Chains A and B, each alone.
Chain A
Amino acid sequence: MSTPTGAVDGAAETGGTVERTSNTFLGDVWVNYKRWNLKAVRNPFVLVVSLVQPVIFLVLFTQVFGGVVEGTLRGPAGGLNYETYLAPAIAIQVAIAAAVTSGIGLVNDIENGMFEKVLVSPMNRTAVFLGKTLAEVTRIAAQIGIILVLSVALGAEIATGLPGALGIVAVGVLFSLSFAAFSNTLAVVTRDQESTIIGANLLQFPLLFLSSAFIPLERLPGWIQGFATVNPVTYGVDAARAIVLGRDVITVVDVPGFEGIWHTLVPALAVLLALDLLLGGVAVYLLSRASSSAVR
Chain B
Amino acid sequence: MTTDETRRNGQGTDHEAAIEAEGIELTYADGTRAVQGVDLRVPRGEFFGFLGPNGAGKTTTIKTLATLLSPTAGTVHVNGFDAVAEPRKVRQSIGYMAQETSVDPELTAEENLRFACEAYGVPRADRAERIAELLDLVDLADVADKRAEEFSGGMKKRLDAATALVHSPPLVFLDEPTTGLDPKARNRLWAYFREMNDAGTTIFLTTQYLEEADQLCDRLSVIVDGRIVATGSPADLKREVGGEILDIDLEDGSDARERAVEVAESSSLFEAEATVEATADGITVTSRRARERGTDLLVALRDAGLDVVGFNVRAPTLDDVFLAITGEHLDAEGEDGTDETDEAAAAPEVGG
Contact = CB atoms under 8 A, between A and B. Distances in A.
A111 to B, nearest CB: 9
A14 B137 contact: yes
Contacts of A114: 102-104
Interface in B92-134: 92-94, 96, 98, 100-107, 111, 115-116, 118-123, 126, 129-130, 133-134
A31 B119 contact: yes
B23 to A, nearest CB: 15
B26 interface: yes
B167 A123 contact: no
A120 interface: yes
A15 B134 CA distance: 7
A7 B147 CA distance: 31
B10 A120 contact: no
B70 A293 contact: yes
Interface in A67-119: 112-114, 116-119
Contacts of A123: 119
B68 A293 contact: yes
Interface string B65-76: 011111110000
Interface in B17-40: 26-29, 31
Interface stretch (B194-202, B223-231, B281-289, B329-337): B194-202
B105 A112 contact: yes
B207 interface: no
B302 interface: no
Contact of B201 (A9, A12, A19, A31): A12
Contact of B134 (A14, A23, A117): A14
A112 B122 contact: no
B70 to A, nearest CB: 6
A7 B119 CA distance: 16
Nearest to B162: A14
B128 to A, nearest CB: 12
12 contacts: A5-B8, A6-B8, A9-B10, A9-B170, A10-B44, A14-B168, A18-B126, A38-B106, A112-B104, A113-B98, A113-B103, A117-B98
Interface of A: 2, 4-23, 27-28, 31, 35, 38-39, 42-43, 112-114, 116-123, 292-296
The 7 closest A-B pairs by CB, nearest first: A113-B102, A15-B133, A13-B199, A11-B168, A9-B9, A12-B201, A10-B170
